[in-house]
Structure 1
């Protein structure tokens, strides 16, 4: 429960470097605070993973004024996300683009950027600080691709930058074609459903170098049972996305974190109060800390969507969908120990198209010391070689057994329980290993 309302607050106590400091609340365009941060680029979080490709995750904002009722941020109870849950305040990390630039400049091995994994990069507060545009520019100037994910309006500047790298792309979240219902699901958003589809049109028609168009993904993510799962509306959504130029569809079914179950169910009931008992009976599959819709419901839903995408010549994948398996199942970890498996991903059953769940192969990138990829000026004013794609790498790290990029850690397909969460320290270690190998080759 929120302990205060943003429009009433003049300041808030924030823990910075272990000390509580009074931080002013700024009011325009939405109530927010601005803090400095030493946040580092990192990969996917520990635990279950269905994301096939490695990414460098960037969150310039914590909290989001779109206020989607199903947002991950509603279940996060740490750091500035806790502040957002309690007060509704968005946190802005000033100079985040400068930090990202410094970190990328310290590397010789990097992955595609991911903006953003939790909160929307083009939410209202971005109109004041433009951190998202600046971060996209940082990646692009260095020759690195970036993936932007939004349910807002993508600025022309960002689309222009995405067009400059053949592996950069965008994902647009459209949960329903019913504009009134979508506004109930995202009460803080002033963006219309037409605006979201127009994102796809602009991406598909923007002039590009080295490829026909910018790869675009329409995310029906998540689908809410009894609210946005009408088959005719889902068909309309997919057919319209195709007409607007989408290449790929990603879908998921909403799950309910157990520690906010009451709050989530109350919101679902408010949108469709008739099937109250049906919700209780449907959300029966407990996987880790969340309740998922029964596997039979999800399997029928995803089969329908996959077949519909095939009919419309679109590739298809799921996002973080798992099913429970027998508790007797065991796998051998990288250290040789046996570990009990309780769930498995569903993408192997439903994904179509390429090896990657976003419908595009994006390789790991390495610094191109030959100069063929060009040069850029780094944050210290030095001329540096840009990055280029590792030869023959598809970027499908989760299923890879023979790493063409040269990074052994990223061959996650070798053992079922290999490590799958990496951070900036790992990228620096891989960069040193790459430099050492090159030096050894030169000395032969």
Structure 2
């Protein structure tokens, strides 16, 4: 098999589905382009020698039965949906790489001892409806019907109506979590620039960082920009600037892998000649150690309150996301690292700062991830790209890991 050509052809053909006139791809859950993409993958799974089938919600599986231990399954895959105007690798590369790797193994070694399976998950991004990980949460039987029944997209189209329109439905209440999955390996672009900067081909992911996300509102007093002396002001933007600077300075002292981001800032009234009386802003903080993450954010909360009080401001702090770090399985990580060594790849063991389907699956089944470099670290963008040789290197490592897991006694 010419891995480079097969991989390039599949990426090009799948990327044409949902291609955006402005560049990139937009392929959102339960849209027509989403279904077309899943149907394309279904055909490719069949062509690769796998038996393809959908579950109730639209997750797609391709399976080849093991010859000796068919009740033990080694799983690989990722998600098929995209962000709005996204790139052509995030998610779908992991799906394509999984079935290309398994096709290569079948052609080279014949059928495995353990069953091999691909999953093309229905949704991960949360780009259409206010929900995320719909595919993987249903796979592990965590998705809740009551969280979905009332939600709609930005056009007012109801989640349930769109799901039914594409021929899918809620998971049956009696469905039990599968007990045959012995390992899950997800391959993904890094979506950062660590591997590129260090001239490495492969990242062996051993942990997915925990996240805490906040929405904070500082309230002061809007007033005339010309007639209000500096000492009399209750300037919400000034208060925000002190908070932002102090917390980022503290994060720099703590160092990697801690990251903190003030990503959204909305001052009011947001005009040139009025002292801003209110600022809404967000804070995103991530770390691979739950205790460090909790300690840092609790200190940040106390600091924000102290700064607000010092400047005569009131403050409202809403912690609306609190996701713990998710470690990968040590044995599966070791298998992936061994595969990278066997393929003579330059690699490093690293954590993921971004969320992935693996963080939903890992608490239920032994899991690990493989990263390939992202050029300039760009992702969720039409400019998202990875060198062809790095994509091929990733598939080779994935295939070797799957071989170790499915073909060895």
Fold-level similarity (TM above 0.5): no
Structure 2 length-normalised TM:
0.28
- The TM-score normalised by the length of structure 1 is 0.26
Rg larger for: 2
